[in-house]
Amino acid sequence: MIKENILRIKEGLPSGTQLVAVSKFHPAEAIMEAYEAGQRIFGENRPQELAAKAPVLPKDIQWHFIGHLQTNKLKMVLPYASLIQSIDSLHLLEAVNSWCVREGTVKDILLELHLGAEETKHGLTEEEILSVVENAGNYPGVRICGLMGMATNTEDESIIRGDFGRISALFKRIRSNYPGMDSFKELSIGMSEDYMIALEYGATFVRIGTAVFGPREY
Ligand SMILES: *Cc1c(COP(=O)(O)O)cnc(C)c1O
């Protein structure tokens, strides 16, 4: 079942778009089933869960952290995650940068744009993102690889398109204003319900949980 889902979803993705299989709340066995179908990028949103799973699963898995990250949990996430997709505040950005500088490493990150309405308060404003990119030299511990966003949770497709349109426009604006910033090339938008729409807006990562692993039991 998981294998068929992965193969079917990947078949529908253009060549420049990668699947992030969101494995939160699903056990190691489910991840191994996806792994055996060729999947290598997995997304987790809880620090403890990532820190428990990563050491017991294959070393060539690329873990993407996609959830809200508190600065006191960095040591559970940064050693395992190859990409932090959810840099959702300047405070977190500073903390990740300092941690990496101290450790002598550089971590790949995406800046999360606040999209949608009241349901989430996490995310950077467009102004904050533009200022971070302009001052990227202040953050030697991170490599800014692009943007991430979560559309409003609604059935109304025009609202979803509005959200994806906004993040896609910001992404293109930064790309054209900073042509020398080679790392800035990822746009992570789209989940199980809306990823087909996200493809129209240039998604390079789609983050899909339910449509790969089935419903989560909370
Ligand atoms: C859970 C989650 C997803 C996947 O959601 P599905 O609707 O199950 O595909 C994608 N992105 C983030 C940030 C998530 O927390």
pLDDT in tens, the chain (218 residues): 999 999 999 999 999 999 999 999 999 999 999 999 999 999 999 999 999 999 999 999 999 999 999 999 999 999 999 999 999 999 999 999 999 999 999 999 999 999 986 666 789 999 999 999 999 999 999 999 999 999 999 999 999 999 999 999 999 999 999 999 999 999 999 999 999 999 999 999 999 999 999 999 76
Take atom 12 of ligand 1 and give the residue whose Cα is closest: 66
pLDDT, position 90:
98
Which ligand 1 atom sits nearest the alpha carbon of residue 213? Answer: 8
Radius of gyration of the chain (CA): 17
Q: Which residue has the tokens 């054209």?
A: 176
Q: Is the CB of 210 under 6 A from ligand 1?
A: yes
Tell me if the pTM is above 0.75: yes
Whether residue 208 has its Cβ less than 6 Å from ligand 1: yes
Ligand 1 pocket check for 192: Cβ under 6 Å = yes
Q: Which of 186, 110, 123, 183 is nearest to 152 (CA)?
A: 123
Please state which CATH number belongs to domain 2-213.
Answer: 3.20.20.10
Is the CB–ligand 1 distance for residue 207 below 6 Å?
yes
133 lines ligand 1 (CB under 6 A): no
Which residue has its alpha carbon closest to ligand 1 atom 5? 209
Q: Which atom of ligand 1 is nearest to 208's Cα? A: 9
CB of 154 sitting under 6 A from ligand 1: no
Indicate which atom in ligand 1 lies nearest the CA of residue 45: 15
Q: Tell me the C-alpha distance between 24 and 130, whole Å.
A: 31
Distance (Å) from CA 175 to ligand 1 centroid: 26
Residue 132 phi, psi dihedral angles, 5° rounding: -65, -45
| pLDDT at residue number 4 | 98
The atom number, within ligand 1, closest to the CA of 212 reads 9
Beta-carbon count within 10 A of 104 CB: 7
pLDDT of residue 119: 64
For residue 148, CA distances in Å to 29, 75, 102, 188 come to 28, 22, 26, 5
pLDDT at position 121 is 77
Query: What is the 3-class SS of the chain, one letter each residue?
Result: CHHHHHHHHHHCCCCCCEEEEECCCCCHHHHHHHHHCCCCEEEECCHHHHHHHHHHCCCCCEEEECCCCCHHHHHHHCCCEEEEEEECCHHHHHHHHHHHHHHCCCEEEEEEECCCCCCCCCCECHHHHHHHHHCHHHCCCEEEEEEECCCCCCCCHHHHHHHHHHHHHHHHHHHHHCCCCCCCCEEECCCCCCHHHHHHCCCCEEEECHHHHCCCCC
- Evaluate whether 43 touches 23 at the Cβ level (below 8 Å): yes
Pick the atom of ligand 1 nearest to 66's CA: 13
- The answer, yes or no, to whether any atom of ligand 1 lies below 6 A from the CB of 148, is no
| CB count in 10 Å sphere of residue 103 | 13
Domain ranges in the chain? Answer: 2-213
What six digits make up the tokens of 1? Answer: 């079942």
